[in-house]
Amino acid sequence: MKIALAQINYHIGNFENNVSKIISAIQRAKAGRVNLIVFAELAVSGYPPRDFLEFDDFINQCLNAVDDIAKHCTGISAIVGSPVKNPEFQGKDLYNAAFLLEDGKVKEIRHKTLLPNYDIFDEYRYFEPNKVFEIIETGGKKIALTICEDLWNVGNNPLYTINPMDELMDQEPEMIINIAASPFNYNQHITRAEILIENARKYKIPLYYVNHVGAQTELLFDGGSMVIDNKGQILHELNYFEEDYLEVDTENLSNSKSERQIKKYPEGKAKTGLIYDALVMGVRNYFEKLGFTKAILGLSGGIDSALTLAIAVKALGVRNVLSVLMPSQFSSQHSVDDSLEMVKRIDAPYKIIAINEIYNGFNQKLHPHFEDLPFDLAEENVQARIRGVLLMALSNKFGYILLNTSNKSEAAVGYGTLYGDMNGGLSVLGDVYKTEVFELARYINREREIIPENIITKPPSAELRPDQKDSDSLPDYAILDEILYQYIEQRQGPRELVKMGFDEAIVKRILRMVNINEYKRYQTPPILRVSPKAFGMGRRMPIVAKYLA
């Protein structure tokens, strides 16, 4: 039996696009005399469709799309993911389903059993879990057809009380097919491979796995579809961060080993390289799928905006990214010079709009109302908001999308100005800690200096008052980021952090800053998710709360 894995970049709710890509892959598979082609979880709708699933029209379009695809499945079978209606009165109205298409029609439907409802996932909000376990048969093969999470109830901390594969093994399947929507984080490719290998070894049958690729706003899908033999050896792996396609012969699987060249990262740079490629894909897909082409950002002379510019240029092309330098009386000359050096080095368009006069005008108007109070955060924020207004004005006038340049460290502790430097249509670095920002800058410069060295090495500063440095307000980033990582990603509380050796006063201060600034994060642009726990849809915290505040 010849099986094809089709790793496709779907677009949520774009049925014409999704169906066209699926049918094209089916035609390609037919030309290769493939017996069965496999597509990803909820391929027809895109993942995650979220509350689109509450609209009958959306579900009907999904099912019509499945019927359209089925018409092309003559002389070939296909497995494709789509929501399907639950015919029973009780329970949720939908199932997350895998369709077996054959002889021009729907032959079988199997439902997802394990519905993740943690972090970024909320599938139980929409879907009824499967309770009937049956393999499928096609091409003379008995197949355990599973959907993503159905294979993840293994290991030392199972989340569910049932394991679908245990239920299916009594029917003696010859292989596992798993269609998935497994989002990227910088550890996920390792965790995912371990889970899939464990399944292949446990059940002693080969496993064919197909994942999504592409960005869906916050969620990034890295692909990495694969074939694993019955001993748990990965025989084939599809590319990361791009569409891909593979045909394999099940009869020669034991002697098969892919000679395809999958992209490798430099020694010790896998995490950084993965994050970089994910962010580039995230920016590119956000613009493509929304129908925009041009971006704008404020270029301050600091490393965050320089890194954002480098990523945007890679994603969109250098002529499609406008940098705006907005110096004030507090801006150092070297910040302006460093910014100019970078844009000239990469031949990028830029504007310089000095804000001195605008800022002085604001101060004049506000002076009678500030009651002779001394210069403080209010005046600093006025500068940031002036810059935000200028960037949004240019965005509105010319149709740019404003890229936010704040990093995760700043977002965590509220080191940013609402309606100022926290503006934007997309946050590129909002899930990247400051220490990782430096690593990414070095990674980008590994072959040639794109980001000027002085931008990387100089002390970080918001430059909103004379001689200001980030270290005036924040602990050293190496300490800050480690405490933030342990608190946010690892969910370690203050006692655990102190036991790790962190200063108790610093721990209390940082955790308080994180919790009292939740209101700011509710108002930030969508953040490209690259870590196991990102701000946004996967981290749900109350604003009005007292815990550690």
- Tell me what pLDDT residue 332 has: 77
Compute φ and ψ for 233, nearest 5 degrees.
-95, 130
**23-46: pLDDT as tens digits:** 999 999 999 999 999 999 999 999
Which band of pLDDT confidence, cut at 50, 70 and 90, is reported for residue 254? low
**List of domains in the chain:** 2-255 (3.60.110.10), 270-469 (3.40.50.620)
The tokens for 328 are 């004030």
For residue 148, indicate whether it is catalytic: yes
Which band of pLDDT confidence, cut at 50, 70 and 90, is reported for residue 404? very high
On the question of pLDDT at 243 being above 90, the answer is yes
**76-124: pLDDT as tens digits:** 999 999 999 999 999 999 999 999 999 999 999 999 999 999 999 999 9
> Which residue has 């924020």 as its token pair?
381
Average pLDDT over residues 60-71: 98
Average pLDDT over residues 296-325: 97
**149-188: pLDDT as tens digits:** 999 999 877 899 999 999 999 999 999 999 999 999 999 9
Q: Please report, rounded to a whole number, the percentage of residues in the chain having pLDDT higher than 90.
A: 90
DSSP per residue, 132-145: ----EEETTEEEEE
- Tell me what pLDDT residue 31 has: 97
Indicate which residue of 2, 21, 41, 218 is catalytic: 41
Average pLDDT over residues 63-73: 98
On the question of pLDDT at 256 being above 70, the answer is no
Query: What does the angle CA 516 – CA 439 – CA 294 come to, to the nearest 5 degrees?
Result: 80
Indicate which residue of 21, 112, 314, 408 is catalytic: 112
> Which residue has 């269609």 as its token pair?
179
- Tell me what pLDDT residue 265 has: 86
Which band of pLDDT confidence, cut at 50, 70 and 90, is reported for residue 260? low
* Among 160, 56, 133, 69, CA closest to 107: 69
Which band of pLDDT confidence, cut at 50, 70 and 90, is reported for residue 549? confident
Tell me how far apart the alpha carbons of residues 343 and 57 are, in angstroms, rounded to a whole number.
48
Residues 6+ apart with CB under 8 A from 369: none
On the question of pLDDT at 510 being above 70, the answer is yes
H helices of 399-473, in order, are 408-413, 434-444, 453-457
Q: What is the 3-state secondary structure (H, E, C) of 526-537?
A: CECCCCCCCCEC
On the question of pLDDT at 258 being above 70, the answer is no
- Tell me what pLDDT residue 252 has: 86
Indicate which residue of 62, 102, 128, 148 is catalytic: 148
- Tell me what pLDDT residue 470 has: 75
Peptide bond into 48 cis (omega under 30): yes
On the question of pLDDT at 513 being above 80, the answer is yes
Average pLDDT of the chain? 95
- Tell me what pLDDT residue 8 has: 98
- Tell me what pLDDT residue 474 has: 87
**433-475: pLDDT as tens digits:** 999 999 999 999 999 999 999 999 988 776 777 777 777 778 9
- Tell me what pLDDT residue 257 has: 60
> Which residue has 């891909």 as its token pair?
244
Question: pTM to 2 decimals?
Answer: 0.95
